[in-house]
């Protein structure tokens, strides 16, 4: 598919979805629903292709004896177990007890361990920010320390006040910062996507 055709298709889909949000019309809603279903199918296909590519890469790593063979074996065994539990005859898919057990017993603890490591890396980043004597880093570390202290579970009136203060910080100033970051990331992503679809380079501006 040539770039002008792809650009026109993306623009038409975007205009259709915007029209569905702004105009109450059954035909537009049905067309938007078909487009969304097609996008979901494409995303699902891309996810399956990514899983297949990961499995092929790990198999190639084992075959050519490169990388970490133990990690490759664990990845392949985990993929096989999940596929076998979800696709075996009589399975209920994601609602199958075997799949739910694998998620609860394996994936959730692994995710919790990764988030536990995030605390250590956050402390290391805070130490580097303070060592660099950056004003922004100092403000960030101070805000994180204040929020952490306010989230300490204490009983009585002081504990209630600290919890309310932490909730206000998370919903107010900190939440505003995160919303600003998300808006900025969304705008930059839209601009970059438009530049890519239209074939615009820095010299074209």
Domain ranges of the chain: 1-67
Six-digit token string for 200: 């615009």
Q: Which residues of the chain have pLDDT under 70?
A: 1-7, 197-205
CA distance linking residue 191 with residue 205, whole number of Å: 13
Six-digit token string for 113: 């361990």
Give the tens place of pLDDT for each residue, 138-152.
887 887 788 778 777
Do residues 99 and 86 make contact, with C-beta atoms less than 8 angstroms apart? yes
pLDDT for the residue 184: 87
pLDDT for the residue 86: 80
Six-digit token string for 167: 């909730």
CA distance linking residue 8 with residue 2, whole number of Å: 10
pLDDT for the residue 37: 86
Do residues 94 and 86 make contact, with C-beta atoms less than 8 angstroms apart? yes
pLDDT for the residue 199: 66
pLDDT for the residue 159: 77
């Amino acid at each position: 598919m040539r770039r002008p055709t792809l650009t026109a298709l993306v623009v038409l889909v975007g205009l259709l979805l915007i029209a569905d949000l702004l105009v109450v019309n059954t035909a537009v809603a049905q067309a938007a629903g078909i487009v969304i279903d097609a996008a979901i199918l494409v995303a699902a296909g891309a996810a399956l292709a990514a899983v297949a590519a990961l499995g092929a890469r790990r198999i190639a790593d084992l075959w050519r004896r490169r990388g970490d063979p133990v990690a490759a074996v664990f990845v392949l065994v985990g993929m096989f177990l999940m596929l076998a539990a979800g696709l075996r005859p009589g399975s209920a898919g994601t609602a199958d007890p075997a799949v739910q057990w694998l998620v609860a017993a394996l994936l959730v603890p692994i995710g919790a361990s990764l988030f536990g490591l995030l605390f250590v890396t956050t402390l290391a980043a805070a130490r580097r920010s303070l060592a660099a004597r950056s004003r922004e880093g100092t403000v960030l570390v101070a805000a994180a320390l204040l929020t952490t202290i306010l989230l300490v579970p204490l009983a009585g009136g002081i504990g209630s006040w600290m919890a309310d203060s932490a909730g206000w910080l998370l919903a107010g100033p900190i939440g505003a910062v995160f919303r600003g970051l998300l808006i900025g990331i969304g705008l930059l992503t839209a601009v970059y996507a438009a530049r890519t679809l239209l074939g615009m380079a820095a010299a074209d501006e």
